[in-house]
Amino acid sequence: MSLTPPSERLWWKEPIERVELLWVGLALLWALIMFVMMPYWHIYGKQNLSNEAYRTTPEQFSKKVDAMVEKYTVRKETARGYPVVAPPAGSDVYLLGRLWEWYPILELEKGKKYRLHLSSMDWQHGFSLQPENINVQVIPGYEMVITVTPNKTGEFAIVCNEYCGINHHQMLGRIYVK
C-alpha cells in the first residue's frame, strides 16, 4: 500500500497498467493542444495583448494625458466637470488611473483602432471594462499600450478591480462608443 514501501522492490521495472498508459497519452495530447492554442490565437485570434510597454513616471504620463485632453475635449460631464475626450481614430489615447478615478472620459468610434495607453499615478489599479469584461493590470511606473477596436456601440464603464485602498469601490471611469 501507499503507506508502506513498495511491495515490488524493483518497482520501476513493473509494467504500466494499460488504462494508465492510455490516460497518460490522452492527457499529453490534450496538454499539447492547449499549448498550441496560445500561439495559434496570436496568429489568427483578434484578442491579444500587445507586448508594448514603456517605463514612465506619473509626471511624464499625466503630461501626455493633459495634452490630449486639451486638444480633443468635446464636452464636460458630471458635477466634477470631467472632460469627455474624442481623439481621432488611429491616434494615441491616454487613460490614467489614480485614487480613485479613471481620467478622462473617452469617446471612441466603433470599428476604429486606437492605441490606448494606460498607467497609474499612485498604487496599482485594475482596468476592468464593463460589460465587456476586459481586464488589464495597471502598474505605476509602467505605460502599457494596447490597440483596441471597439466592436459595439454604447456606454461602457471602467471598474477598478485591483484593491487600491478604502475608496476602491468608488473608482469608476467611462468610455462611450459611437
Partner 1 sequence: MANTAEFRTCPDTGLQFHRPAETLMKLNAVAGVVFLLLGGVLALLLGLTRWPKYHLLGAEPFYMFLTAHGINVLIFWIIFFEIAVLYFTSSTLLKCRLATPRWAWLGFILMVVGSVTTNVAVFQGNSSVMMTSYVPMSAEPAFYLGLILFAVGALIGCFVFLGTLVIARAERTYGDGSIPLVTFGALTACIIAIFTIASGAIILIPTLLWKLGLVSHIDPLMYRVIWWAFGHSSQQINVAAHIAVWYAIAAVVFGAKPLSEKVSRMAFLLYILFLQLASAHHILVDPGVSSEWKIFNTSYAMYLAVMASMIHGLTVPGAIEAAQRKRGFNKGLFEWLRKAPWSNPSFSGMFLSLLIFGFLGGISGVVMGTEQINIIIHNTLYVPGHFHATVVGGTTLAFMALTYWLVPVLFRRDIVLPKLASWQPYLFGIGMTGFSLFMMGAGTLGIPRRHWDISFSGALLNHQFPETAYLLLGLVGISTILAVLGGGLFVLQIVASILFGKRRGEVKSAVPIIAAPVADGLKGIGIGGVAVPGTLVLALVFLISFVLYYFVNWKYLSQVWGLS
> Rg for the chain (alpha carbons), in Å?
24
Query: Is 173 within 8 Å of 101 (Cβ atoms)?
Result: yes
3-state class (DSSP) for residue 99: coil
Contact set for partner 1, span 85-114 (CB under 8 A): 101, 113
Listed ranges 58-66, 67-75, 85-93, 159-167: which one lies at the site for partner 1 (CB under 8 A): 159-167
Q: Say whether residue 162 binds partner 1 (CB under 8 A).
A: yes
Q: Say whether residue 64 binds Cu ion (CB under 5 A).
A: no
Show Cβ contacts of residue 58 under 8 Å, excluding neighbours closer than 6 positions: 119, 120, 121, 122, 140
Which residue number, 68 or 164, has a Cβ lying nearer to partner 1?
164
Which partner, Cu ion, partner 1, none, binds residue 32 by CB below 5 to 8 Å per kind?
A: partner 1
Q: Say whether residue 95 binds Cu ion (CB under 5 A).
A: no
Amino acid at 106: L
Q: Say whether residue 47 binds partner 1 (CB under 8 A).
A: yes
For residue 32, how far is the Cα from the chain centroid? 26
Listed ranges 38-46, 64-72, 85-93: which one lies at the site for partner 1 (CB under 8 A): 38-46
